[in-house]
Structure 1
Amino acid sequence: MSETIETWFDQPLLFTIAERHVRGRLVRLGPVLNSIMAAHSYPPTAEKLLAEALVLTVLLGSTLKDPESQLTLQAQTGGGPVELLVCDYRGGELRGYLRFDAERLAEVGTDPTLFALFGEGFLAITFDQAASGERYQGIVPLEGASIGDAAEHYFGQSEQIPSLIRLAARHDAEAGCVAGGLLLQHLPEGEVGRDRLHVRHDHPEWAHARTIAETLKPEELTDPATSLETLAWRLFHEEEEVRIEPGLAVSRGCRCSLDYFAGVLSKFPEVERREMADESGTIEVDCAFCSRLFPIPLDEIASHD
């Protein structure tokens, strides 16, 4: 590995092991994560779930080549206490929100399974490609010990890309909520001239890389004193070459504003807008992501028509 400025929080580290036909991402969220969490009073179980989902969103979003493209992660309940989980990433901007039944969530304990949280729910991963205007979406059952397991299943089933995902989150007395993750993938056809993965069943180079990556511990992913470069070196220092580069810095990006909501409301018929307004002629919009109310007068909405 070549020398580089070390990466600690809120910026993914991208790496490629060409000899193994493997690419990966490491990320650790701290200040940005706490900024997102501050909008709501999440209990520990909800905080951990959302933190891991936000890490997963950054890992997947960092694979997008166009900064205007968007990755959306959405999990919906099949009868569990978590009713909705939604996160998205665009050009380094990250946001997320969790809606749940507090009483039922308190009953599942501190380390619940995905089934205990969602019931027979589903995970939808959507890639919106800005350049082509195309949208790709995969939907898989929420099965496994973590939301990372469900995402692994998505890549294996929908994309036919062997993948390893590791997520971890904890509450630190000084740093607040800290969460980290690893995404490791066998490079798809075309990137290094490989055969189509679904017609091959033996991938010794992938099996080796996966076995090494599986030794990564949750406490390493969330350790504020360990840089991402150090983690990559610990895992793959015996490889002949590991190419690394920093990804886009991550920021909280709710993207909500009076002007934005006024533009959305202007698409509704005038009669419907008047039905939504209160006695003073104002529509109040509640942004679930940042937990803010936006009072928007009807005449301001009309100016967007």
Structure 2
Amino acid sequence: MQDWFIVAIRTLVAIVVLFIMTKLLGKRQVSQLSLFEYITGITVGSLAAYIPLEVDGTWYLGVVSLCVWVLVSLAIEYFQLKSRRFRGIMDGVARVVIKDGKILEDNLKKERMTADELLELLRSKNVFRTADVEFAIMEPSGELNVLVTKENLPLTPKNLGIKVAPEQEPQTVIMDGEIMDEPLSTIGFNRGWLAVELEKQGVALENVFLGQVDSYGQLYVDLFDDQLKVPQPQEKALLLATLKKCEADLEMFSLSTKDKDGKKLYEECSKQLESVIKDVKPLLSR
């Protein structure tokens, strides 16, 4: 039998065995690796490369060694799940390196990390002053997690007491100048509606590279010609402005009329409309 054919068969066997072993080890093998998992990944790859290229009759020993490595790795993962102490021995423990803006030099030395390396990791988290850090911890995976002081936290709608409507996945209704009927029907629209929306924006279907409809029924398009600019949909902004104008008109009517019953009616309608605007504003402000 030709050597090239033998190598080809053994390579296929190695690929199948390596795939099965990798599936057994789980997804952590390709994400955040511990020290032992890192060593296991290198060793398993080396053993898999050994199997097809070993010209002697002992090539199957590579498969045996590969299976032993995987079984040991599975056993270690099992004991890690069962014992926190064993997990600490294998993966290490998290260490606080900054607390209340002060660098803990002793813990930094235990992590074998210099001040320059710590500052580099902080900059990767968009933190440029250690005084702005409330708490920084070095995880066993080697990642630095940082909690900045409250006054340096970014503002969110929740901090301001603003309710924001939940965002749903946009549907792609046009791709490469072709209409995608299934996503279009999923959101309850048809080709006629899409044609009207494209006409509003003054865009021809064949010029659209990508078209998406958000959860509020607004169409956003990206054209093949990047030099052309398409105005953003303004339906929600116009609706919100119209509601505010109606509220202002009602208030003006209540001030201008001399009829007591009419004044009271205008004021009540104005307050009701103000409540409606407050409820729908999160939906119309996105």
TM-score (norm. length: structure 1): 0.22
User: Based on CA coordinates, which of the two structures has the bigger radius of gyration?
Assistant: 2
Task: Flag the structure with higher helix content.
Answer: 2
Task: Flag the structure with higher strand content.
Answer: 1
Q: Which has the higher contact order (CA 8 A, sep 6+)?
A: 1
